Amino acid sequence: LETQSRVPVIWLHFQECTCCSESFIRSSHPIVADILLDQISLDYTETLMAASGFQAEEAMHQTMTKYKGRYILCVEGSVPTAANGVYCMIGGKSSMQILEEAAENAKAVIAWGSCACNGCVQAAKPNPTSATPIHKLVKGKPVIKVPGCPPIGEVMAGVIVHLVTFGRIPQLDALGRPKAFYSKRVHDTCYRRPFFDAGLFVESFDDENAKKGYCLYKMGCKGPVTYNACGVTKWNGGTSFPIQSGHPCIGCSEDNYWDNGRLYERA
């Protein structure tokens, strides 16, 4: 790996809140500075690049031409397809046009976060912009889905480092998610699971059972139906995750969780 040149990456931002990028830059193992300085060449990203305007557009097009078939395309956000894509325009082009151009010669496409994987909050009913996930628009090449709102930084880093190191996409499940991080439910690795099994539940956020750290199932926890690595990898360098902070899992890595998950609805 040390002798390989850095792999070019184009990272697009469409309908999103940018917290996927915020999560990525907090990866501590591998540390994100090592990825950016040693393993990838982040040639275009609206959030982190120094260039702007024509220079930025030029950088993206140079990468697409010079590294045809060799660059990785990362997409954060959904694509609005209503009204010919007018709801998300960058540099005079719709996100639909930009995605089509950038995906055409990409080696692989990574869909970062629930916005890019399933539309997330923008696609919640009535989905006024027809927010559409990336895999529904990119044809003929693999789209690696890394869902979560946001995904865990170390998971994002792990996916991109796998691609760069081995030159191939990681093993994916039937929904296109890397098995290494999405093969278990949050419930399967949750440290509160013994309380669930014993029938000991928090009944309200400020009751004695909450202080004792009992299971949050009755507070609407979606851990039993949510596939993610939060119970193992945790967040902020392994510090904690929502359930450890006393909050039920809202199922942020599952398709259409805004509409389907009935947030906070008691079981």
* Residue ranges that bind ligand SF4, judged by CB under 6 A: 16-17, 19-20, 76-77, 113-115, 120-121, 149-150, 186-187, 190, 192-193, 196, 215-217, 221, 223-224, 243, 249
Q: Report the residue from 15, 118, 122, 253 that binds ligand F3S according to the rule CB under 6 A.
A: 253
Query: Is-contact 115 256, C-beta < 8 A?
Result: no
Q: Which does 253 bind (CB under 5 to 8 A by kind): ligand SF4, ligand F3S, none?
A: ligand F3S
Query: Which of 110-131 are b and which e, b meaning 16 or more Cβ less than 10 Å from the residue's Cβ?
Result: bbbbbbbbbbbbbbeeebebbb
Query: Is-contact 182 253, C-beta < 8 A?
Result: yes
Q: Measure Cα distances from 32 to 3, 161, 230 in Å.
A: 19, 10, 19
Q: Which does 17 bind (CB under 5 to 8 A by kind): ligand SF4, ligand F3S, none?
A: ligand SF4
Q: Measure Cα distances from 110 to 45, 49, 147 in Å.
A: 14, 19, 10
Q: How far is the CB of 152 from ligand SF4 (least distance, A)?
A: 11
Closest to 116 (Cα-Cα) out of 100, 137, 86, 97: 137
Q: How far is the CB of 166 from ligand SF4 (least distance, A)?
A: 26
Window 206-235: residues binding ligand F3S (CB under 6 A) = 226, 228, 230
Site string for ligand F3S, 130-149 (x = CB under 6 A): ------------------x-
Q: Report the residue from 87, 112, 217, 241 that binds ligand F3S according to the rule CB under 6 A.
A: 241
